[in-house]
């Protein structure tokens, strides 16, 4: 039998999805598995987007432009301008989800062996895209006791080598829920300018800013306009994860032009997804108000409930819909598997994402898990009751 590639062998498994076979086995045994492991919300997608797809009257599901439909790019640019971030449609390349935007951006901006600095814990798939593009990730640890704030800027500077070509942030952050302040971003901008780095800013959770603190997009930072590469997606904004529509937004013409070559090779972004995404831009404000309130209630409920448990610490996330939680456990991977394989309370159990997969530094995250508050409060309550009982049993 021919052998699999080394690239395939060493491709990191997703900490969010790698335990799926155990969850499936648990379900086959009749257990209800409450999924706190994945950012798949139960929130309905906007009706206006669903109707646009239902009412599509064309006769051919055709290829489109590799950069995405011009009408969608123009509408998305207008959306950003409405948020106060100046964007022109020529600065947008539509992609198959934010995932492809990250991969294309890495491919267009880095040579194999180049380095990207990422505050950890970070969204685990960054690791995978960097690996695919041959980019070395240099982590810089942000700590739970500091609510995962941006590490001191001197620590970033210490990591910069001749190979360093970029810094990558997610704002609000997945997995920590931290929202970077204008001051923190301006500090980053100083070193981005000084060393002429790319600043990749993943802003797919931009609208999920629960305390309504002023939001600074990396695109609004002065003096580094051509260094910034923004990652956009409809997955979370409209609870349309399956639409698979994202975008690279950059004022750097080369980033758009060279990413487009990767876009041409995959022909075009999804046809129906773009129809839904364009229509979703007309979603009435009441939809967002309701969704926002729902997440905010879940956030407060989950954090309060977790902090009542013995030995558990959960900082209050300001954005996105995740918390990185410290648990009284020694090995989050083992614990997550044990929850699915060995534990149930009245036939219920929970699936969590072990935090080890969100850290690049070996050994970190062993007593932490990421929880996504994507379930309604009633289900969250059952899931968290299960978790509390599980912790007692695991430690007994
Ligand atoms: C921070 C972040 N960036 C990017 C993505 C990719 O999203 P998608 O490819 O669905 O747009 C996700 C998905 O969970 C995410 O959490």
Ligand 1 atom at minimal distance to the Cα of residue 16: 14
With beta carbons less than 8 A apart as the criterion, state whether 277 and 97 touch.
Answer: no
Residue 39 confidence (pLDDT): 75
Computed on alpha carbons and rounded to an integer, the radius of gyration of the chain in Å comes to 21
Residue 243 confidence (pLDDT): 98
Residue 118 confidence (pLDDT): 98
Q: For tokens 């598995």, what's the residue?
A: 33
Residue to substitute in 39, 41, 68, 99 for testing ligand 1 pocket (most ligand atoms within 8 angstroms of CB): 99
Mean pLDDT by 10 residues, the chain (396 residues): 92 82 95 90 94 96 97 98 95 98 98 97 95 96 93 96 98 97 96 98 96 94 97 97 98 98 98 98 96 96 97 96 96 96 95 94 96 94 96 94
Residues flanking ligand 1, CB < 6 Å: 39, 97-99, 123, 170, 174, 202, 204, 233, 235, 241, 246
Q: Quote the ligand 1 centre to 3 CA distance (angstroms).
A: 32
Give 285-293 contacts, CB < 8 A, sequence gap 24+: 287/46, 288/207, 291/43, 291/239, 292/207, 292/208, 292/210
Residue 202 confidence (pLDDT): 98
With beta carbons less than 8 A apart as the criterion, state whether 230 and 203 touch.
Answer: yes
Residue to substitute in 76, 95, 97 for testing ligand 1 pocket (most ligand atoms within 8 angstroms of CB): 97
With beta carbons less than 8 A apart as the criterion, state whether 230 and 217 touch.
Answer: yes
Q: Quote the ligand 1 centre to 314 CA distance (angstroms).
A: 23
Comparing C-alpha atoms, which of 184, 200, 56, 190 is closest to residue 123?
200
Q: Quote the ligand 1 centre to 16 CA distance (angstroms).
A: 12
Residue 44 confidence (pLDDT): 95
The one-character DSSP state at 271 is: H
Residue 18 confidence (pLDDT): 81
Residue to substitute in 103, 106, 118, 123 for testing ligand 1 pocket (most ligand atoms within 8 angstroms of CB): 123
pTM value is: 0.95
Torsion sign across C-alpha atoms 52, 53, 57, 62: positive
Angstrom distances, CA of residue 274 to CA of 104, 130, 246, 258, 261: 18, 26, 9, 22, 20
Q: Which residue's CA is the nearest one to ligand 1's atom 16?
A: 174
Q: Quote the ligand 1 centre to 257 CA distance (angstroms).
A: 23
Cite the DSSP H helix spans in the chain. 6-10, 20-28, 47-54, 70-82, 97-109, 125-133, 153-159, 182-194, 253-265, 271-280, 285-307, 332-341, 377-395
Q: Quote the ligand 1 centre to 205 CA distance (angstroms).
A: 9
Ligand 1 atom at minimal distance to the Cα of residue 205: 1
List the beta bridge partners of residue 345. 348
Q: Quote the ligand 1 centre to 372 CA distance (angstroms).
A: 13
Residue 396 confidence (pLDDT): 87
Q: Quote the ligand 1 centre to 308 CA distance (angstroms).
A: 30
Residue 13 confidence (pLDDT): 80
Q: Quote the ligand 1 centre to 177 CA distance (angstroms).
A: 14
């Amino acid at each position: 039998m021919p052998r699999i590639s080394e690239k395939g062998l060493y491709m990191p498994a997703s900490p969010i999805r790698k335990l799926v076979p155990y969850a499936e086995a648990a379900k086959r045994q009749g257990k209800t598995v409450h999924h706190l492991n994945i950012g798949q919300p139960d929130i309905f997608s906007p009706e206006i987007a669903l109707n646009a797809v239902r009412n599509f009257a064309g006769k051919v599901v055709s290829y489109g432009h590799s950069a995405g439909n011009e009408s969608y790019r123009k509408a998305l640019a207008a959306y950003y301008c409405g948020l106060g971030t100046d964007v022109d449609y020529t600065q947008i390349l539509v992609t198959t989800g934010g995932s492809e935007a990250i991969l294309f951006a890495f491919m267009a901006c880095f040579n194999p062996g180049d380095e990207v600095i990422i505050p950890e814990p970070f969204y685990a798939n960054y690791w995978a895209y960097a690996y695919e593009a041959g980019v070395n990730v240099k982590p810089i640890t942000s700590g739970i006791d500091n609510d995962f704030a941006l590490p001191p800027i001197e620590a970033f500077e210490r990591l910069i080598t001749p190979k360093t070509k970029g810094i990558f942030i997610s704002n609000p952050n997945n997995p920590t829920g931290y929202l970077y302040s204008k001051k923190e971003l301006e500090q980053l901008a100083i070193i981005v300018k000084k060393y002429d780095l790319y600043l990749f800013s993943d802003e797919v959770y931009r609208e999920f800013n629960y305390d309504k603190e002023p939001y600074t997009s990396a695109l609004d930072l002065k003096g580094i306009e051509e260094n910034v590469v923004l990652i956009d997606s409809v997955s979370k904004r409209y609870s349309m994860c399956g639409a698979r529509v994202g975008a690279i937004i950059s004022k750097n013409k080369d980033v758009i032009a060279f990413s487009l070559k990767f876009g041409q090779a995959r022909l075009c972004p999804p046809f129906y997804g773009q129809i839904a995404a364009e229509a979703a831009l007309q979603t009435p404000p009441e939809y967002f108000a309701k969704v926002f309130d729902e997440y905010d209630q879940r956030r407060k409920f989950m954090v309060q409930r977790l902090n009542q448990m013995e030995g558990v610490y959960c900082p209050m996330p300001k954005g996105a819909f995740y918390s990185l939680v410290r648990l009284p456990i020694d090995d989050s991977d083992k614990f997550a598997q044990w929850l699915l394989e060995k534990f149930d309370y009245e036939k219920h159990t929970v699936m969590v994402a072990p935090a080890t997969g969100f850290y690049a530094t070996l050994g970190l995250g062993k007593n932490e898990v990421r929880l996504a508050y994507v379930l309604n409060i009633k289900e969250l309550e059952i899931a968290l009751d299960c978790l509390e009982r599980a912790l007692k049993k695991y430690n007994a």
